Structure 1
Amino acid sequence: MGKRQFDDWLVGGISYTVIALFSLSCVLPMLYVLSYSIMNYSDYLANPFRLIPRRLDFAAYRQLFHFDLFYSGYKITVLITVVGTLLTLLLLLLSAYPLTKPGLKGRNVILSFVVFTMFFNGGLVPNYLLVKWLGIYDSVWALILPGCISVFNLLLMMTFIRTTVPAALEEAAIIDGANELHVLFRVILPLSLPALATFAIFSAVGYWNSYFAATLYISDRALWPLQVVLRELVVENNMGMLGSSAQLQMMMSEARSQPFTLKMATIVVTTLPILVVYPFLQRFFVKGMLLGSVKG
């Protein structure tokens, strides 16, 4: 018993140590980013590895919030994230449920075309021409519709419905007089919430970090999402984003003194919303990832 207890204690100690080191490796960079964003740039140059700043300096945040395009970019990003995520979940549900029916006419042909698009893509030029032909170029819909549904997520959703929702529930609802829409929204939807929450996280993060589509389909600066605005601010240092000459002078004087802290502030501002929302969806995320794999 003594040796067994020692072995259990040793294995537990090693496991907790590894987990603690891994957690520290994940948390420490975030703490450094937050610390550098409120640290005076001269203090950072004096000691780049300092975690706790000697004095708080919010000049980087003031500089960031003085950009007019920053607020419009935040609004556009929130809009496309919310609308795109809701539309993605709706299309996933409406597409996956019928394709799980073996008796659906043309099901194999439809699935063949769907899976084909996962391996072969038209490319940038056909996608660009399609967006122009649909008349959504230079609009928020160009940032939402092209990436609204993923074939891989569709296949996962089909598998989740097949393996998780008992066929007896659907048959019972149909016997009680429910039509297909009632079965979909009153039986399938409640049971699929864990999977939908998982796909919601994936979709929301994708839309929130959307950058490349905006560079292709958006020329109006007022419709730039947040990531493009920050690229203009941090990478290209485009002074034309400021409105007044006083703001321009402030930017020119401060950009040379704290370019690094400005980058850290932008990272904090862009990642904070996702970090705040994720804990509320984490339990659904874990459940949705496991349910489909546990059942046959």
Structure 2
Amino acid sequence: MKGGGTNLGKIRKKYRDPQAMHPVVNTIISVLLGILAFACIFPFIYVIIISFTSEESIVRNGFQLVPKDWSMDAYHYLWSMKEQLFRSYGVTIFVTIVGTVISVLMITFYAYAISRPQFKYRRFFTFLAFFTMLFSGGLVPTYIVVTQFLHLKDTIWALILPLSMNAFYIIIMRTFFLKSVSESILESARIDGASEWRIFFQIIFPLSLPGIATIALFSTLGYWNDWFTALLYINDPNLVPLQSLLMKIEANLEFMRQNMDVAIMNQSIFDTIPQESAKMAMVVIATLPIAVSYPFFQKYFISGLTIGGVKE
């Protein structure tokens, strides 16, 4: 039995995967990755803790990991403007969902067209997309086009259409289609009589789900975090998105702090506003929904980023 165990150990050692890491190295790398992951998530945890800290404790003791006084004053202050807050949440959710769908469709249509060798003008449209990554018309011409020619000012489409196309995402999807979609599959579908629309939605779309989900995640983050577009094109308070509303609240708090004469005139109101904790609460309510949705994209996101990393 002893000799048999020795021989079994030699066989295992002989046929061990040469690319497998040593257990000690694997443990060290796992610990380092765990520390890195904790370092990434710790700031958000810290922000949540500060948002539940009383303003008096922050003024007296500064930011603490374990505050002496817990309080919900910051969330009560934001709840006092709940009507505008919920309205802005609804605008942001609508813009994010509709904008992501439109953006993904437009980007994938464009990228699929320039990825097919039978498309005669693919080089021209590829250069056209790449050129816009290097040069743009600028802010003023863009504003004139959106407001004077398209007449989108103070409309919900002003928050959607300017961000719907992204040349970088087009290049990513073009590479994805070239790497993951075989031309022979498309030729077989065409021989069977399938139209280009049917080929795209029944063959291309399922095969390209990791790449499309990656682009969808990028677009979702872009729409959800966008506040500058509303600053340019939106004056109607009913169309103000969440990020823009939070920016206005923070600007008002800063104005009250910097203009002490105004603050002294309204001292009773000024004292009841949890300034620092309210800022952190705004970060929480703006970040938490998109952070919760990220795990649903994670599997496809990782698959999409690794496309083209292995050479066949």
Percentage of matched positions with identical amino acids:
37
- The residue number in structure 2 matching 1:69 is 84
SS of 1:213's equivalent in the other structure is helix
State the Cα distance separating 1:30 from its structure 2 match: 1.4
1:137-216 counterparts in 2 under 5 A?
Answer: 137-216=153-232
Residues 86/48 of structure 1: CA separation in 2 closer, same or farther (3 Å cut)? same
State the Cα distance separating 1:155 from its structure 2 match: 1.0
Higher RCO, 1 vs 2 (CA within 8 Å, ≥6 residues apart): 1
Is structure 2 residue 248 aligned with structure 1 residue 232? yes
SS of 2:133's equivalent in the other structure is helix
Of the structure 1 ranges 109-118 and 170-179, higher mean CA displacement relative to structure 2 is found in 109-118
State the Cα distance separating 1:103 from its structure 2 match: 2.2
- The residue number in structure 1 matching 2:95 is 80
From 106, 112, 116, the counterpart of 2:131: 116
1:15-26 counterparts in 2 under 5 A?
Answer: 15-26=29-40
State the Cα distance separating 1:250 from its structure 2 match: 8.3
Q: Which runs of 5+ in 2 are unaligned?
A: 1-8, 10-20, 257-265
Matches of 1:42 and 1:213, distance apart in 2: 36
State the Cα distance separating 1:11 from its structure 2 match: 2.8
Contact map agreement 2:177 2:208 (CA 8 A) in 1? yes
State the Cα distance separating 1:276 from its structure 2 match: 0.7
Query: Structure 1, residues 257-285: CA drift from partner, whole Å, max 9, x if none?
Result: x2110011001100001111001110010
Instruction: Tell me which amino acid in the other structure corresponds to 1:50.
Output: Q
Is structure 2 residue 64 aligned with structure 1 residue 50? yes
Query: Structure 1, residues 32-68: CA drift from partner, whole Å, max 9, x if none?
Result: 1111111112223343353234453111111112213
Contact map agreement 2:114 2:174 (CA 8 A) in 1? yes
Matches of 2:155 and 2:68, distance apart in 1: 46
Task: Report the number of matched residues.
Answer: 282
State the Cα distance separating 1:107 from its structure 2 match: 2.3
User: What's the TM-score once normalised by structure 2's chain length?
Assistant: 0.84
Instruction: Tell me which amino acid in the other structure corresponds to 1:181.
Output: W
- The residue number in structure 2 matching 1:254 is 272
Q: Which runs of 5+ in 1 are unaligned?
A: 2-6, 240-247
Instruction: Tell me which amino acid in the other structure corresponds to 1:75.
Output: G
Matches of 1:27 and 1:118, distance apart in 2: 32
Contact map agreement 2:111 2:170 (CA 8 A) in 1? yes
CA RMSD in angstroms comes to 2.3
State the Cα distance separating 1:231 from its structure 2 match: 1.1
